Structure 1
Amino acid sequence: MLYDVEITTRTPVHVGAGVPPLRNKVDFVRFGRFTYVLDQQRVLDYLLPPQGDAELIERISSTYDLSSFLKEPDLRQHPELVRYRLGGAPNNDELRAQIKDVQGRPYLPGSTLKGAIRTALANALAREQPLQRAQLGPRREWAARQVEQALLSTAPNPKRMPNYDLLRALQVGDSAPVAPEALDLVNALVWPAGKSGIPISVEALREGTTLTARIKLDDYLLSSSAQQELRWQPRTEVLRRWVALCREHGLARIAQEANFFARRAPRVEQFYQQLAREAAEAADNVFYAQIGWGAGWPAKTLSRVILPDHKLLEWLIERYQLSRGPRQRGAPFPKTRRVVSYDGQQPVLPLGWTRITVITTG
Structure 2
Amino acid sequence: MNESELYEYTIEILSPTIVASGGKLQRIDFIQRGTRIEILDMDKTLADRSSLELFERANYNLETFRGSIKDGKIKYEKKYDLQFTGSGGKNLDNIEIIEHIKSAGRPYLPGSSIKGALRSTITRAFGKDNVYKMHLKEKITEVLTKNPRGGERALKEVGVEADEQIFGSPTSSPFKLLVVSDSSFAENSSLQLSEIVIQNIKKRENLLPLYAETLSPGTKLTGTLIRKYRTLYSKEKFVKEIEIIESMAEKSRASNSILLEREIEKLSKSDPNKFRKIIEFYKKLLMMSKEKSTILLCMGFSSGYFSKIAVGNPDSEFLQDVQKLMNLSNPKKQISSDFPVSRKFVTDSMGLPAYPLGWIKMTLSKIKS
- Partner of 2:211, secondary structure, is strand
Give the Cα–Cα distance (whole angstroms) in 2 for the partners of residues 344 and 199 of structure 1: 14
Which residue in 2 is equivalent to 1:64?
A: 63
Q: Does 1:4 align with 2:8?
A: yes
Which residue in 2 is equivalent to 1:261?
A: 267
Which residue in 2 is equivalent to 1:165?
A: 173
| Displacement after TM superposition at 1:48 (Å) | 5.5
What is the one-letter code of the residue matched to 2:156?
E
Give the Cα–Cα distance (whole angstroms) in 2 for the partners of residues 182 and 199 of structure 1: 22
Q: How many residues align?
A: 335
- Partner of 1:202, secondary structure, is strand
Give the Cα–Cα distance (whole angstroms) in 2 for the partners of residues 49 and 215 of structure 1: 48
Alignment of 1:150-161 (within 5 A): 150-152=165-167, 154-155=168-169, 161=170
Is this contact kept in 2: 1:199–1:344, CA < 8 A? Answer: no
Percentage identity across paired residues of the two chains: 20
Give the Cα–Cα distance (whole angstroms) in 2 for the partners of residues 65 and 10 of structure 1: 40
| Displacement after TM superposition at 1:150 (Å) | 1.4
Distance 1:147-1:45 versus aligned 2 partners, 3 A rule: same
| Displacement after TM superposition at 1:257 (Å) | 2.2
Alignment of 1:270-285 (within 5 A): 270-280=280-290, 282=291, 284-285=292-293
Q: Does 1:351 align with 2:357?
A: yes
Give the Cα–Cα distance (whole angstroms) in 2 for the partners of residues 130 and 243 of structure 1: 24
Which residue in 1 is equivalent to 2:243?
A: 237
| 1:310-336 deviations in Å (ceiling 9; x for gaps) | 223212211222896563x4x3x3101
Is this contact kept in 2: 1:197–1:345, CA < 8 A? Answer: no
| 1:109-168 deviations in Å (ceiling 9; x for gaps) | 10111001111232233537543236547422222221021123x23xxxxx3x333211
Which residue in 1 is equivalent to 2:252?
A: 246
- Partner of 1:144, secondary structure, is helix
Is this contact kept in 1: 2:191–2:216, CA < 8 A? Answer: yes
Is this contact kept in 1: 2:31–2:70, CA < 8 A? Answer: no
TM-score (norm 2): 0.82
RMSD: 2.7
Give the Cα–Cα distance (whole angstroms) in 2 for the partners of residues 357 and 33 of structure 1: 34
Which residue in 2 is equivalent to 1:311?
A: 317
Which residue in 2 is equivalent to 1:85?
A: 81
Give the Cα–Cα distance (whole angstroms) in 2 for the partners of residues 200 and 50 of structure 1: 34
| Displacement after TM superposition at 1:39 (Å) | 0.9
The structure 2 residue matched to 1:31, chosen from 24, 30, 33, is 33
Which residue in 1 is equivalent to 2:118?
A: 117
Give the Cα–Cα distance (whole angstroms) in 2 for the partners of residues 50 and 43 of structure 1: 8
| 1:61-84 deviations in Å (ceiling 9; x for gaps) | 123354311147578x75xx1010
Is this contact kept in 2: 1:196–1:345, CA < 8 A? Answer: no
What is the one-letter code of the residue matched to 1:249?
S
> Any unmatched runs of 5+ in structure 1?
156-160
TM-score (norm 1): 0.83
The structure 2 residue matched to 1:215, chosen from 221, 225, 239, is 225
Is this contact kept in 1: 2:123–2:244, CA < 8 A? Answer: no
- After TM superposition, the structure 1 stretch with the greater mean CA deviation from structure 2, 107-116 or 268-277, is 268-277
Is this contact kept in 2: 1:13–1:352, CA < 8 A? Answer: yes
What is the one-letter code of the residue matched to 1:295?
S
Is this contact kept in 1: 2:25–2:97, CA < 8 A? Answer: yes
- After TM superposition, the structure 1 stretch with the greater mean CA deviation from structure 2, 206-215 or 120-129, is 120-129
Give the Cα–Cα distance (whole angstroms) in 2 for the partners of residues 32 and 47 of structure 1: 29
Distance 1:257-1:201 versus aligned 2 partners, 3 A rule: same
Q: Larger strand proportion, structure 1 or 2? A: 2
Distance 1:173-1:34 versus aligned 2 partners, 3 A rule: same
